[in-house]
Amino acid sequence: MKDESIGLFNINYDLQCKLKLNMQEIKQYALYEGEIIVAEGFMDTKKLNVTRIVKPTITPTNDSCFTMGQLEQH
């Protein structure tokens, strides 16, 4: 994967809401499209300079515990 192609976007907004990630400080990583990550770093004028990536454990929600409104809110 090329560094130029890595970025984040918010699906709740139009495609104008993008953020490119600078992964140069990360020695080794493997990401796939649509993966949920937590990226820690600092902003310069155009990119988030990533210093650490965390891949949280994603567990299925119990749909009987949450209404659709609650899920959409979060």
Boundaries of every domain in the chain: 3-73
CB 26 within 8 A of CB 6: no
**pLDDT value at position 39?**
87
Type of residue numbered 72 = E
Rounded to two decimals, what is the model's pTM? 0.61
State residue 6 phi and psi, 5-degree precision: -95, 125
Distance between first and last Cα of the chain? 30
Chunked into runs of 10 residues, the chain (74 residues) has average pLDDT values of 63 65 89 84 89 84 67 70
**pLDDT value at position 32?**
84
**pLDDT value at position 73?**
74
